[in-house]
Amino acid sequence: MSTDIQIDEQKEAVRLYFSDETPWKTIYSEDGWNPFMARQRLRYVIRLMDQLQIRSKGAALDLGCGCGEYSRLLLDRGFKVTACDSSEDMVIEARKNAGYANGSFQAIVADAESLPFAAESFQLILCIGVLAYLRKDNEAIGEMFRVLAPGGHLILTVLNSVRLGRLPKLCAGKLLRGLKLIPPRTPTGASIQVQEYEMVRRSHIPRQLDATLRLSGFEKLTSLSLGYSPSLLIRKRPKTAQKLSATVDKAFQKLHLPFQDRFGRYYIVAVRRSASEQQACSPGQEQQATQGARGQG
Ligand SMILES: C[S@@+](CC[C@H](N)C(=O)[O-])C[C@H]1O[C@@H](n2cnc3c(N)ncnc32)[C@H](O)[C@@H]1O
């Protein structure tokens, strides 16, 4: 299958996946592991913004806004917010959730890989949990660089391929694959059937994402990682897993251990578009940098 067809199929699958029925519409008010992690991630994004003293300085973009939870956060902090998402249903939901601040908020349907905004339009971009649903990173990251003003901040989160909680599964997989009892890993990502389409959800290796961002012209400020419960515990004892995960996250943030920002379920990175211009990386360079971005498994 040609890459273009794969990308079109992926986009259609993502649009359907995040349509009316998606749990993402109400995720922040639900019970369960995924809603818990979504709320934790929101908490740590807020913490990161506070740590970097990112305060209202004009226009912010909530890229891949989903139900608009981050748009609300930005509005509450005084930003003039533009939210966009490739799913019309999510845009409608974001308008319901964040549209109370009429003059300061607009939400539109737009693709992260081809943003309908002028260069240097935003002082802050949040791109939370979106890269997983793209086939590759370079176009979207190039677009974020283009629409971010020099000196502006980008906060990006991805699902971490090398998260500790996956270790037992990875080891078991390696063993079973070594014994040829299960098929080899595909480099593309976890595959999810959405109606007649196959959607890939990718996870990333933090160090490789950092390299892609650097090659695209961004300067890294800080990063952190959260979500340290083993998958087994999450399935068998979800409440215990939540408590454990929250406790470990909290302790890690205090202890400042080396590499603690590398092995949680989510990797959160804050970068800045430096005032001095640099060229965005070519797809070839990006491929080198991100080789190994893997599926969720
Ligand atoms: C996991 S949800 C996260 C939503 C929101 N950022 C949050 O954290 O609450 C991912 C969102 O990315 C959107 N998305 C996926 N691919 C996209 C693309 N190419 N352009 C714009 N949005 C996209 C989806 O429609 C979905 O709303």
Place of tokens 């063993």: 175
Q: How many residues does the chain have?
A: 297
Mean pLDDT of 257-280: 79
Top pLDDT among 222 and 4 is at 222
* Residue appearing with tokens 């964040």: 98
For the ranges 10-24, 162-176, 226-240, the maximum mean pLDDT occurs at 10-24
6, 8, 14: residue to mutate for ligand 1 pocket, most atoms within 8 A of CB: 14
User: How many domains is the chain built from?
Assistant: 1
Give Cα separations from 33 to 37, 289, 294 (angstroms).
Answer: 6, 31, 22
Lowest mean pLDDT among 127-131, 195-199, 252-256: 252-256
Q: Is the separation of the CB atoms in 204 and 142 below 8 Å? A: no
Q: Which residue range is the domain that position 64 belongs to?
A: 2-296
State yes or no: pLDDT of 166 exceeds 70.
no
What is the distance in A from the centroid of ligand 1 to the CA of 127? 8
Candidate from 161-175, 219-233, 257-271 with smallest mean pLDDT: 161-175
* Ligand 1 mean position, distance from CA 235 (Å): 25
pLDDT value of residue 5 = 72
Nearest C-alpha neighbor of 158 from the set 175, 170, 140, 184 = 140
Answer with the residue of higher pLDDT: 243 or 143: 143
The two counts, helices (H) then strands (E), for the chain are 10, 9
pLDDT tens readout for residues 110-144 = 999 999 999 999 999 999 999 999 999 999 999 99
Task: Tell me the three state secondary structure of residue 20.
Answer: coil
Residues with CB under 6 A from ligand 1: 14, 18, 24, 64-66, 69-70, 85-87, 90, 111-113, 128-130, 133-134
Q: Which residue of 72, 130, 197 sits with most ligand 1 atoms within 8 Å of its CB, as the best mutation to test the pocket?
A: 130
Distance 84 CA to ligand 1 centre (A): 9
CATH assignment of the domain containing 48? 3.40.50.150
Whole-number pLDDT of residue 228: 76
Give pLDDT, residue 135: 92
CA–CA separation, 28 and 40 (whole Å): 10
